Amino acid sequence: IPPRVYADYTRYRPFLRRDFQYRCAYCLIHEYYFGGEAGGAIDHFRPRNGAFARPDLESVYENLYWTCSECNQNKSDTWSSSHEYYNGFRFLDPC
């Protein structure tokens, strides 16, 4: 966990890279293979936008994952509705 709390979640970037061992949280590809730091992205596990948005978690470190751009785009703001969740359709938290 980083030494301080930031209001701007992008300031966590170096800490996320280190904590995820420079790998995408979802596909586990090392960032070397997706273009290094420039090819990576910070994903909000619980989305900050969309129908099931949790903007209160936007800068909460435990909700931020280091990902490759492809996984980040594929997941996007997707989240299970309460009906889907009840029926067993949910995101597996890699952390």
pLDDT in tens, 37-86: 999 999 999 999 988 899 999 999 999 999 999 999 999 998 988 898 88
Residue 3 has pLDDT above 80, yes or no: no
Confidence (pTM):
0.88
- Model confidence at 10, pLDDT cuts 50, 70, 90, reads very high
What is the rounded CA–CA span in Å between residue 37 and residue 56? 26
Q: How many CB atoms lie within 10 A of CB 4?
A: 8
